[in-house]
Amino acid sequence: MALGESESWKRGQKTASFYDQRLREAEAFKRRLPERKKVIHPEDMPWEESRHGRIKHVANANMDDVRVESLDVYLQELPPGGRSGKHRHVAEEAFFVLEGEGYDLHWDVDADIREDGYHWKVASEPKRFDWKAGDAVYIPVNTIHQHVNASAQRPARIISATNRVYQALGFGEIEQLEDAE
Protein backbone atom coordinates (compact mmCIF):
# COMPACT_ATOMS: atom_id res chain seq x y z
CA MET A 1 0.00 0.00 0.00
CA ALA A 2 1.43 3.38 -1.00
CA LEU A 3 1.72 6.05 1.67
CA GLY A 4 0.03 9.36 1.07
CA GLU A 5 1.88 12.65 1.43
CA SER A 6 0.64 13.14 4.96
CA GLU A 7 2.19 9.80 6.02
CA SER A 8 5.41 9.58 4.00
CA TRP A 9 7.40 11.95 6.24
CA LYS A 10 7.06 9.51 9.17
CA ARG A 11 9.32 6.91 7.53
CA GLY A 12 12.77 6.16 9.00
CA GLN A 13 14.14 5.16 12.40
CA LYS A 14 17.13 7.48 12.84
CA THR A 15 17.13 9.68 15.91
CA ALA A 16 19.18 12.70 16.88
CA SER A 17 19.48 15.34 19.58
CA PHE A 18 20.53 18.32 17.46
CA TYR A 19 17.97 20.69 18.95
CA ASP A 20 18.92 19.76 22.50
CA GLN A 21 22.59 20.21 21.63
CA ARG A 22 21.85 23.69 20.30
CA LEU A 23 20.00 24.54 23.52
CA ARG A 24 23.01 23.37 25.60
CA GLU A 25 25.35 25.47 23.45
CA ALA A 26 23.10 28.52 23.86
CA GLU A 27 23.06 28.07 27.64
CA ALA A 28 26.85 27.70 27.79
CA PHE A 29 27.21 30.84 25.66
CA LYS A 30 24.91 32.82 27.99
CA ARG A 31 26.88 31.64 31.06
CA ARG A 32 30.30 32.60 29.68
CA LEU A 33 29.29 35.90 28.07
CA PRO A 34 29.41 38.05 31.24
CA GLU A 35 32.93 36.70 31.96
CA ARG A 36 34.27 37.80 28.60
CA LYS A 37 35.85 41.22 28.07
CA LYS A 38 34.13 44.09 26.33
CA VAL A 39 37.27 46.21 26.60
CA ILE A 40 40.42 44.67 25.16
CA HIS A 41 43.70 46.25 26.23
CA PRO A 42 46.78 46.28 23.95
CA GLU A 43 48.63 43.77 26.13
CA ASP A 44 45.75 41.31 25.65
CA MET A 45 45.96 41.50 21.84
CA PRO A 46 48.28 38.79 20.50
CA TRP A 47 50.82 39.38 17.73
CA GLU A 48 51.18 36.94 14.88
CA GLU A 49 53.90 36.64 12.26
CA SER A 50 51.62 35.16 9.62
CA ARG A 51 51.87 34.33 5.94
CA HIS A 52 49.84 37.52 5.42
CA GLY A 53 52.41 39.58 7.37
CA ARG A 54 52.84 40.95 10.88
CA ILE A 55 49.43 41.39 12.46
CA LYS A 56 48.07 42.16 15.91
CA HIS A 57 44.72 40.56 16.66
CA VAL A 58 42.41 43.18 18.16
CA ALA A 59 39.31 40.99 18.25
CA ASN A 60 38.96 37.41 17.15
CA ALA A 61 36.47 34.71 18.12
CA ASN A 62 39.46 32.45 18.85
CA MET A 63 40.50 34.75 21.72
CA ASP A 64 38.90 32.90 24.67
CA ASP A 65 38.43 35.87 26.97
CA VAL A 66 37.00 38.33 24.44
CA ARG A 67 33.29 38.87 23.93
CA VAL A 68 33.58 39.07 20.12
CA GLU A 69 31.87 36.24 18.26
CA SER A 70 31.21 37.40 14.71
CA LEU A 71 34.06 39.72 13.78
CA ASP A 72 37.77 39.41 13.16
CA VAL A 73 39.70 42.65 13.56
CA TYR A 74 43.45 43.06 13.29
CA LEU A 75 46.10 45.73 12.93
CA GLN A 76 48.67 45.18 10.23
CA GLU A 77 51.98 46.91 9.82
CA LEU A 78 53.45 47.02 6.34
CA PRO A 79 57.20 47.70 6.52
CA PRO A 80 58.73 50.44 4.35
CA GLY A 81 58.42 49.32 0.73
CA GLY A 82 56.75 46.09 1.93
CA ARG A 83 53.58 44.28 1.04
CA SER A 84 51.12 41.90 2.62
CA GLY A 85 50.47 38.39 1.44
CA LYS A 86 48.20 37.95 -1.56
CA HIS A 87 45.06 36.00 -0.71
CA ARG A 88 41.38 35.44 -1.29
CA HIS A 89 38.55 34.66 1.08
CA VAL A 90 34.80 34.44 0.75
CA ALA A 91 34.07 37.14 3.34
CA GLU A 92 34.08 40.80 2.44
CA GLU A 93 36.65 42.96 4.20
CA ALA A 94 37.09 46.62 5.03
CA PHE A 95 40.15 48.36 6.34
CA PHE A 96 41.02 51.81 7.62
CA VAL A 97 44.43 53.34 7.00
CA LEU A 98 45.83 54.56 10.32
CA GLU A 99 49.22 55.68 9.04
CA GLY A 100 51.17 55.85 5.79
CA GLU A 101 50.25 55.58 2.14
CA GLY A 102 50.15 52.83 -0.41
CA TYR A 103 47.84 50.95 -2.67
CA ASP A 104 45.82 47.78 -2.95
CA LEU A 105 45.80 45.38 -5.86
CA HIS A 106 42.43 43.67 -6.39
CA TRP A 107 41.86 40.83 -8.82
CA ASP A 108 38.13 40.38 -9.49
CA VAL A 109 36.99 36.78 -9.27
CA ASP A 110 33.95 35.07 -10.74
CA ALA A 111 32.99 32.02 -8.73
CA ASP A 112 31.12 29.14 -10.28
CA ILE A 113 29.75 26.69 -7.74
CA ARG A 114 29.31 23.19 -9.12
CA GLU A 115 28.75 19.77 -7.61
CA ASP A 116 32.51 19.15 -7.56
CA GLY A 117 33.27 22.42 -5.74
CA TYR A 118 34.17 26.01 -6.51
CA HIS A 119 35.70 27.01 -9.82
CA TRP A 120 37.42 30.39 -9.88
CA LYS A 121 37.90 32.63 -12.89
CA VAL A 122 40.41 35.29 -11.89
CA ALA A 123 40.90 38.56 -13.76
CA SER A 124 44.22 38.53 -15.61
CA GLU A 125 45.16 42.03 -14.41
CA PRO A 126 44.53 43.60 -11.01
CA LYS A 127 42.86 46.93 -10.40
CA ARG A 128 44.90 49.39 -8.36
CA PHE A 129 43.40 51.43 -5.52
CA ASP A 130 45.61 54.12 -3.94
CA TRP A 131 45.14 54.91 -0.26
CA LYS A 132 46.60 57.12 2.49
CA ALA A 133 46.08 57.79 6.19
CA GLY A 134 42.41 58.42 6.93
CA ASP A 135 41.07 56.42 3.96
CA ALA A 136 38.84 53.36 4.20
CA VAL A 137 39.06 50.59 1.61
CA TYR A 138 36.41 47.97 0.84
CA ILE A 139 37.33 44.53 -0.53
CA PRO A 140 34.37 42.65 -2.05
CA VAL A 141 33.54 39.00 -1.49
CA ASN A 142 35.96 36.53 -3.21
CA THR A 143 38.33 39.29 -4.39
CA ILE A 144 42.01 38.35 -4.48
CA HIS A 145 43.87 41.22 -2.85
CA GLN A 146 47.21 42.50 -1.61
CA HIS A 147 48.25 45.65 0.30
CA VAL A 148 51.43 47.51 -0.73
CA ASN A 149 53.28 50.23 1.22
CA ALA A 150 54.31 52.95 -1.27
CA SER A 151 56.87 54.54 1.07
CA ALA A 152 60.43 53.24 1.16
CA GLN A 153 61.07 55.13 4.42
CA ARG A 154 57.98 54.79 6.65
CA PRO A 155 55.75 51.89 7.67
CA ALA A 156 52.04 51.87 6.82
CA ARG A 157 49.50 50.67 9.38
CA ILE A 158 45.96 49.52 8.70
CA ILE A 159 43.15 48.13 10.82
CA SER A 160 41.13 45.46 9.04
CA ALA A 161 37.78 43.84 9.81
CA THR A 162 36.05 40.81 8.33
CA ASN A 163 32.73 39.29 9.29
CA ARG A 164 32.76 35.67 10.47
CA VAL A 165 29.20 35.02 9.27
CA TYR A 166 30.53 33.30 6.16
CA GLN A 167 32.54 30.92 8.34
CA ALA A 168 29.48 30.20 10.46
CA LEU A 169 27.59 29.33 7.26
CA GLY A 170 30.34 26.94 6.18
CA PHE A 171 32.00 29.25 3.63
CA GLY A 172 35.13 30.04 5.61
CA GLU A 173 37.47 29.20 2.78
CA ILE A 174 40.67 31.21 2.57
CA GLU A 175 43.45 30.72 0.06
CA GLN A 176 46.95 32.15 0.47
CA LEU A 177 48.35 32.73 -3.02
CA GLU A 178 51.57 34.52 -2.12
CA ASP A 179 53.23 35.09 1.25
CA ALA A 180 54.23 38.48 2.62
CA GLU A 181 57.89 39.39 2.25
- pLDDT at 140 (0 to 100): 92
**pLDDT by residue (tens digit) across 3-54?**
677 777 778 888 888 899 989 988 887 777 777 788 889 998 999 999 999 9
Percentage of the chain exceeding pLDDT 90: 50
- pLDDT at 1 (0 to 100): 58
- pLDDT at 70 (0 to 100): 81
Q: pTM here?
A: 0.79
DSSP code per residue over 30-88: HHHGGGSBSS--GGGS-EEEETTEEEEEEE-TTSTTB--SSEEEEEEEEPTT-B--EEE
Pick the CATH number of 41-178 from 3.30.70.270, 3.40.50.620, 2.40.70.10, 2.60.120.10: 2.60.120.10
75 pLDDT higher than 80: yes
**pLDDT by residue (tens digit) across 95-115?**
999 999 999 999 998 878 788
Averaged pLDDT for residues 121-134:
95
> Please, which residues have CB within 8 angstroms of residue 118's CB and are 6 or more apart in sequence?
111, 112, 173
Return the domain boundaries, the chain. 41-178
